[in-house]
Amino acid sequence: MKKDKTIYWIFTSVIVAFDSLLPALTSHTELARQGISHLGYPDYFRVILTIYKIAGGFLLILPFIPRRLKEWAYVGFAFNFVSAFISLCVVDGFSFQTFFPLVILAILAVSYVYYNKIQQHSLKIHAA
């Protein structure tokens, strides 16, 4: 059980750091503005996306958040990573950068699998 919790917290922390904390700290930069513009999105989309990413990070990392809200946060992040992959494919074609959102999606999937393992273990303890 300790191994499962360790894996969950490592992978979840990577997601939160990469897709919540980093956007919170850098979304106002010129590079971020250029990046969103390069993909053809309006600048206000950058602000909205950042707000959702920060909220999703809080939902994933805070332990007292109800399971259903965490599930929606996982869905939101998955949608974000798939959409980023598609946007990069359409605009830039195939390169390492194009596939990077799928790498992060795989990290998210590990977090999700181990979150559910911990929840199932917790339910077994409470049922006994």
Spatial separation of the C-alpha atoms in residues 124 and 108, rounded to whole Å: 24
Model pTM score: 0.89
Query: How many domains is the chain partitioned into structurally?
Result: 1
Q: pLDDT tens digits, the chain, 128 residues: what are they?
A: 899 999 999 999 999 999 999 999 898 999 999 999 999 999 999 999 999 999 999 999 999 999 999 999 999 999 999 999 999 999 998 888 899 999 999 999 999 999 999 988 877 666 65
Q: Which residue range(s) make up the domain with 7?
A: 2-127
At 120 the pLDDT is 86
At 122 the pLDDT is 75
Distances (CA, A) of 46 to 26, 28, 62, 88, 100: 11, 9, 24, 15, 19
